[in-house]
Amino acid sequence: MDLTAADKAILLTIARSAVESAVTDTTLQDLDTRFDYSPSLKMRAGAFVTLEKHHRLRGCVGLIEGERELYWTVNEAAISAALYDSRFNPVERDEIKDLFIEISVLSPLETIKNPDEVVVGKHGLLIISGRHHGLLLPQVAVEHRWDRKTFLEQTCVKAYLPKEAWQWKETAIQVFTANVFDESILKN
C-alpha cells in the first residue's frame, strides 16, 4: 500500500496518542473526525505497532487483516501493544516518554507452495498448522540476520510448533510484505 509522508505522520500521531491515552486513561477527540483522512488511510489493511524502549522491544501487537479502516487498525494495535502484549507488563506512565513507535502496514496474505519463494528482507511470514499459527514481520529476519531456513524455523517456534513444522504437508505458509516506518520520519 502506498502511503504518503502525510499519511505516515497521521498514523504515527494516532499510535502515539492511542498509547498515551490508554496508559493515562484519558479520552481523545473522536478518531473519525480527528484528521482529514486520505483514501489510503480509509482502506482496510492489517497493521502492527511495535513499541521499543531504549532500543529493546516493549510491545508489538497487530491485526493481520484490518477489520476497519487502517487508521482504526493502527489505533487498536497501539493500545494493545501498550497494554495487552502478553510478553510484557502494561506500559506505565513514566515510560511513555522513552517509547519509540514503529508501524508495519501489511499487504494481503499470499499462500505459497514452495518455501524457496520466501525472500528474506521482503516477506513476512505466517505459518499455520492445526490450531497453531505464528507471524513474524519482514524486518525481524533482517534484524536477526536470519537466512530463509532460520526465518521459517523461528516462525514455527513463534507458533509453538517444532522448528521443522514448516516442512509438514499440513502446514500452510503465507507471505506478505509490509510498509514499515517509524517516528524518525517525524524529525525531518
Q: What is the pLDDT of residue 187?
A: 81
Which helix (H) or strand (E) segment holds residue 16: the answer is: helix 5-24
pTM above 0.85, yes or no: yes
Shortest CA distance to 82 belongs to which of 72, 93, 73, 71? 93
Where along the chain do the CATH 3.30.1490.150 domains lie? Answer: 110-176
**Superfamily in which the 110-176 domain is placed by CATH:** Hypothetical protein ph0010; domain 2 (3.30.1490.150)
Q: What CA–CA distance (Å, rounded) separates 181 from 130? A: 33
Q: What is the pLDDT of residue 45?
A: 95
Q: What is the pLDDT of residue 144?
A: 96
Kindly list the averaged pLDDT for each block of 10 residues, start to end, along the chain of length 188.
Answer: 93 97 87 92 96 96 93 97 96 96 97 96 97 96 97 97 96 97 88
- Under CATH, what is the fold of the domain 5-106? Glycoprotein, Type 4 Pilin (3.30.700)
Q: What is the pLDDT of residue 188?
A: 61
